[in-house]
Amino acid sequence: MTHQSDSPQPNQSSKKRPRANRLLDSGRPIGFFSSLKFELSVLIVISTAIAFVMAWFLLKVGLTGWVAMPITLAVALGITYFFSRGLTTPLRQMRDAAEAMAEGDYTVRVQTGTDSNDEIGMLARSFNEMAEELQHADQMRNDLIANVSHELRTPVSALQAMLENLADGVVEPTPANMESILNQTHRLSDLIAFLLDLSRMEAGAASLQIERFNFADFIDETIEPLEIADSGHAHTIDMHVPDDLTMEGDQDRLRQLFTNVIGNALKHSPDDTAVLIETHENKTNDTIVTNVVNFGSQIPVEARSDIFRRFVKGKTGPGTESGGTGLGLSIARWAAQLHGGTVRVVDDPRGADFEITLPKHHIQADVAKSARSGDA
């Protein structure tokens, strides 16, 4: 299985403006130091010293003070202007870039000053990082519209065609036809559930119903509907979960987590292959670690973080299913984080290995947030 994401396409603004990345990339005469105040102090000292030497030289050659003074001031202003370009050029580019982003063009970047060590350089780099995040967020918004439109249109069109055939008497209301209609309604229901979860993720709101439960029984109940839905692909789910392992958490949210991860492994597994579920307790960290292994496939290291982003779909291959919303793994990560846990892809020579780490005992939301920040 190889996961990949489409590279963001630049958004075209209705009003054509000069891009910041097309501006002249003039060098910064200053920017070698880590403090802007120190650079300004050096600039003032240099300008003053040059002005003093020039004034002394002009007076030495016999010019009067009324002639030497304007020449000295002009030279000092020219030197100051030359060196001050390093301060104003990045700021002008940031202004132009901000105006372009206000009109919808998030491809603009600041080119000058990004390599300097002072506050201007740090600001330029931070601005570019912000622009990249805004471009990604805008791309995600466009993907949301495109994905939801596509995912809704398919089952709705199928339902409409089936119901029209039933109403016209073209087909009979046989159990098989009714099952097809039911499957399409289930697909619609799943999509709506995904979108509701997405809205909860965006709002950062989710209530947890914490209870203590047997983990092995929980996994059994989780994979049962997955095995039914997977019928026809001849997948085998091998479980190695201790029978006496218990934990605290919200079973509904955790079921979302494990359903999406295990379902993803089944979806991207060729027919007649196995998916392994291994669970062990880490008593040192008081956590429960579960590995879901999809044999025979690998996920490139550079793609392992992208697959947890919204609307990123795995590349399908022989024996795999197509489709999906690209939200499953993103929701899985959200459900894990709600419990103070993590889900990630780890190195495993056997295949794609999703490792889910959850605290055995429930921790408060602020503690969980601190733990996630520490992991980051």
Q: What is the pLDDT of residues 70-122, one digit of tens each?
A: 888 888 788 777 777 667 777 888 888 888 888 888 888 887 666 666 777 78
Is residue 257 within 8 Å of 322, Cβ to Cβ? no
Dihedral sign (CA 135, 140, 141, 146): positive
pLDDT reported for residue 368: 47
The residue written with tokens 């802007």 in the block is 36
Residues 97, 98, 104: CA angle, nearest 5 degrees: 90
Along the chain (376 residues), what's the average pLDDT of each consecutive run of 10 residues?
A: 39 39 43 66 78 80 79 81 73 85 84 70 84 81 70 76 84 82 78 70 68 94 85 86 93 88 86 91 94 82 68 46 58 85 88 92 59 44
Dihedral, 338, 322, 320, 348 alpha carbons, nearest 10: -30
| pLDDT for the residue 282 | 93
Is the distance from CB of 96 to CB of 18 less than 8 angstroms? yes
Look at residues 317, 361, 338, 271 and name the one whose alpha carbon lies nearest to residue 3.
Answer: 317
Q: What is the pLDDT of residue 356?
A: 95
* CA distance linking residue 266 with residue 316, whole number of Å: 12
**Is 0.75 surpassed by the pTM of this model?**
no
